[in-house]
Amino acid sequence: MELRHYLGTVAAQLVTELTPILEIKGVTSNTDLLGKYTEASIRSLVHRIVQPMRVSTGAVLDYPLPTVLRQIDLIIWAPFPVPAIFEVEGFGLLPKSSAFGVIEVKRSNYPKATAQLESFLADVDSRKVVADYDPWLSPFQDGAKSPGIGIICVLESAPSKRLAKLIAADRVVAVFERVGGKTSVRPRDVFVLVNFLHFVTWRYRASSANSNFPQINLEALK
């Protein structure tokens, strides 16, 4: 067996639990239901890879608070240096410093998906929705990779030029693609996602191993 074929087989097995996403459209066309099921399925897969870190949907909090908080599909976080402010059953409002990675989930590449992914990634790049780079980690290239990624579960048509550019840059991954009625796994994208999740867990482990014991700044409370 060639290495390429072997890795393709491994990738297909890693995302087996996502295959019902491809079939649920035969039961309902309600886009809200399709989206919620897709997010829940992706959340389960992500948690399997990043545990013991936590995975929630919700928002991140930072001062000063914006007028409207951005809803984030998946936040990969740990109660370090601060626990969640509000947390229940997979929902959380979390301090930005505790959010080590974030994910935007799309079931398919529908017309508005690309613009929504671009908006999300812009907020990631400006660090509005995820923990800042840790200066202590700068020698280890913490800033070399983005702590946010977009996931499209299935490409139901050829990606637009803008979306193709995001995929080529590993800013967005597409798990499946449908061509001529046949659906197949995209192995490279699966492993891009796995590598991203390992990077997020590394951010947490490296930050928590910092010799400078984390402390909340109390100066503003004087």
Q: What is the pLDDT of residues 7-38, one digit of tens each?
A: 999 999 999 999 999 988 889 889 899 999 99
Per-residue pLDDT, averaged over 197-214, amounts to 82
Q: Shortest CA distance to 101 belongs to which of 50, 35, 173? A: 50
- Does residue 218 sit in helix, strand or coil? coil
The DSSP letter of residue 134 is -
Whether the Cβ atoms of residue 137 and residue 200 lie closer than 8 Å to each other: no
Only one residue has tokens 């790049």, namely 125
Asked if residue 79 has a cis previous peptide bond (ω within 30° of 0), the answer is no
Least confident of 63-72, 126-135, 195-204: 126-135
